[in-house]
Amino acid sequence: MAAPVVPAGPRRGRVTAFDPGRGLGTVEDDDGATYAFHATAIAGGSRRIEVGAAVAFAVAPGHRGCYEARSVVPMSPS
């Protein structure tokens, strides 16, 4: 069985959940796909992010064969 193809390059989306105690969250891209992330993936070392925040991120293979969000960067409101 072939692995799913994930388009390369930066993505945009919103944080849909984040548990600061566990450091785990999810982000949904503009196409509706959801990816997990860990607080260490948040750019700038803040380790905290607000649910609903607009973000740019990359997708990479993660644990257990799932894709996850990396380099999660909060975007300034325009």
Single pTM value for the model: 0.84
Which helix (H) or strand (E) segment holds residue 30: the answer is: none
Every domain of the chain and the residues it spans: 11-74
DSSP string, 7-39: --S-EEEEEEEEETTTTEEEEEETTS-EEEEEG
Tell me which CATH homologous superfamily contains domain 11-74.
Answer: Nucleic acid-binding proteins (2.40.50.140)
pLDDT digits (tens, 9 = 90+) for 55-68: 999 999 987 788 99
Q: Which range, of 5-14, 26-35, 61-70, averages the lowest pLDDT?
A: 5-14
